[in-house]
Structure 1
Amino acid sequence: MTSSATRGRRRPRPAPAPPASGAAARRGPSRRRYLARRWIALLIVLSVFGLTYVIMFTSLFGVRTVEVIGTEEVRPDTVRKAAAIELGTPMVRLDTDEVAHRVAELPRVFEVSVSRSFPSTIEIHVTERSPVAVQVAADGVHLVDHTGVDYATVRARPPGLPLLKVVKVAADDPATHAAVTVLGAIPDPLRKRVVEISARTRGDVRLKLADGKTVKWGDAEENARKAAVLAPLLTRPGRTYDVATPEFPTVS
């Protein structure tokens, strides 16, 4: 009886296996995501390297146009020739300082700047020299700018420019520097009356006016004060007006 009772009972079913742990469940998908990220990173790096190569070492983003701005006497083609920019040169690799240095070697160029205008244009901005005086020589009329540079020779003397008389016209010559400094400092009404400016030394600047009067200016100091003293002084009769020492002007 005991044995029949035992046979009549239901045996308990085995418990189901526990689910896989979280790490095990995610092992497959996590590895796929890791590999995908690695490929994406590699593609990004390759894209950056490829784009850098195209920009830096090919003509795709190269110079197509060289634009010259600000010239009057200097021909734009002359500036382009001096700039020596090879079309197709990658824009980002072009040495703009070197280009500016080459253009600045042109005698008539006072100042130059070079800039990039993407995607393919180089702009060269030029400021030309302007004459403030002339020197007459056997080979023609030499134009002198406000820095004392003799930068060009022409056949005819431009109107309205005074004759510069110094031993040697040069930017580093003290007499030349004093003379052009005075010309740049005096008021326009007085400058228009000057037909000749001379200087044997830096402290001996003299102005010859259109009416034949001579002004002993002295050095290139206190120019505004000297001009203010000279204005009423010129109303007095005389041939020579000395304002070298503006505190004690004289007329003779």
Structure 2
Amino acid sequence: MAGPTTAERGERQQGSSGPPPPPARRLRPPRLRTAVALAVVLLLLAAGLGWVFYGSGWLRVERVSVSGTRVLTPEQVRRTADVPVGEPLISVDTEGIETRLRQKLSRIGAVDVVRSWPHGIELKVTERTPVLIVQKGRNFIEVDREGVHFATVSQAPKGVPRLELSVSRSGSAAASLRRFGEGRLVREAVRVAGHLPAAVARDTRAVKVRSYDDISLELDGGRTVAWGSGEKGARKARALTALMKGAPGARHFDVSVPTAPASSGS
């Protein structure tokens, strides 16, 4: 059997004469003592922070401030909120306080409960604003822009029109009541009140609802406005403004079809 050729022997000798490959670098694991020390530091830090927030007297509730009230008093809001004074500030249930305020004080439309470090809780209140009132006996029920009946007062707020819901229980009005429901009709009246021009809103004494398509206004001086439905409110407002400018002595206005407004009487 023939042995390796001269060329093969040369290649083997050349390959074996080179330096050996460097050894692979091995990653050293972190030293156990360092890892234990780091873990102890982290535990101590967590325990210290927990004590600062929950156990110490440095970050506890000492004051409750109220802002945004108009009809309600700050003391009413503060008493209803029942913020746990003396408790750790971080543990105060802000969502629970918000829910409690909205449920027990219906005049509050929105409230924001904010932690004011290091010792305070801020109650930022937004009260509902009446856009209509409903007379009930000697009292008045306030209705906001969402159609919510939110408060009963003994005196009617100035500049807020009455809502007169006089829907017949027979005929087309009854069908309108069955289809839309009283709540929807109230919201339509609110919708109309929201579209009134400022000058007209100041003179409006009542918004009368007989059906979804039959809403009218009673103004100062015995003047009336046939508005129709709550739809196309902006166009109806512009038409009414133009009518009143063109016929300042008129007593009756009809903008139920805003493309064909009309006025009459003097």
TM-score bracket for the superposition, by shorter chain length = 0.7 to 0.9
Task: Return closer, same or farther for 1:34/1:61 CA change in 2, 3 Å cut-off.
Answer: same
Give, as a single letter, the amino acid of the residue that structure 2 aligns with 1:159. Answer: K
Secondary structure of the residue aligned to 1:248 is coil
Q: Which of 191, 210, 214 is residue 201 of structure 2 equivalent to?
A: 191
Match of 2:44 among 43, 46, 53: 46
1:115 is aligned with what amino acid? Answer: V
Deviations 1:86-132 (A, max 9, x none): 11222222221221111112121111111111111111100112222
Greater CA drift, 76-85 or 188-197: 76-85
Q: Which residue of 2 aligns with 1:219?
A: 229
Once the two structures are TM-superposed, the CA of residue 238 in structure 1 deviates from its matched residue by 4.7
User: Match of 2:214?
Assistant: 204
- TM-score normalised by structure 2 residue count: 0.73
CA contact (8 A) 1:174 1:201 kept: no
Shift of 1:191: 0.6
Q: Which runs of 5+ in 2 are unaligned?
A: 1-30, 168-180
1:243 matched residue in structure 2: 255
Aligned-partner Cα distance in 1 for 2:127–2:233: 26
RMSD (CA atoms): 2.5
Query: For 1:114-125, what aligned pairs fall within 5 Å after superposition?
Result: 114-125=113-124
Which of these residues, 172, 179, 186, is aligned with residue 176 of structure 1? 186
2:131 is paired with a residue whose SS is: strand
Identical-pair percentage: 33
Does 2:125 match 1:126? yes
Q: Which residue pairs with 1:87 in the alignment?
A: 85
* Number of residues of Structure 1 aligned to a counterpart in Structure 2: 218
Supply the AA of the counterpart residue of 2:120: T
1:65-106 Cα shifts (integer Å, max 9, x gaps): 111111121121211222122112222222212211111121
SS of alignment partner, residue 197 of structure 1: strand
CA distance in structure 1 between the aligned counterparts of 2:260 and 2:41, rounded to whole angstroms: 84
TM-score, length-scaled by structure 1 = 0.77
Structure 1 runs (4+) greater than 4 angstroms displaced: 33-37, 57-60
Amino acid at match of 1:130: T
- Report the counterpart of residue 65 of structure 1 in structure 2: 63
Give CA-to-partner distance per residue, 1:15-41, whole Å, 9 cap, x none. Answer: xxxxxxxxxxxxxxxxxx974774464
Q: Hey, what does 2:18 align to over in structure 1?
A: none
Query: Counterparts of 1:156-171 in structure 2 under 5 Å?
Result: 156-166=155-165
- Whether the aligned pair in 2 keeps the contact of 1:132 and 1:145 (CA below 8 Å) is yes
Alpha-carbon separation, structure 2, partners of 1:39 and 1:203: 79
- Unaligned runs of at least 5 residues, structure 1: 1-32
**Deviation at 1:217?**
0.7
| Residue aligning to 1:109 | 108
